[in-house]
Amino acid sequence: MAFELWRQDDNGHRFLVGRFPTRGEAERQLAELTRAPHKQTYWINESTDGCDRMGPA
């Protein structure tokens, strides 16, 4: 199982930010990206695909 971090911009376009082997790593990246105010929306999805550390895309 892997955890994918996604972003949606203010135009509704969705982008895969990165895939992580643990939810904790995905949440740390999410926290880093949301430190400053912005219009993008971020979320984490569980993926059933296997994952070696891919990190931010």
How far does Cα 49 stand from its chain's mean position? Answer: 15
Strand order in the sheet with 14-20: 41-47, 2-8, 14-20, 55-56
Residue 42 has a pLDDT of 95
Residue 38 has a pLDDT of 78
**3-state DSSP call for residue 21?**
coil
Residue 56 has a pLDDT of 52
Per-run averaged pLDDT (10 residues), the chain, 57 residues = 95 96 97 88 86 50
**CB under 8 Å to 35, separation ≥6 — which residues?**
none
Residue 17 has a pLDDT of 97
Residue 9 has a pLDDT of 92
User: What backbone torsions phi and psi does residue 38 show, to the nearest 5 degrees?
Assistant: -160, 175
Q: Number of structural domains, the chain?
A: 1
Query: Which range marks the domain in which residue 39 is found?
Result: 2-56
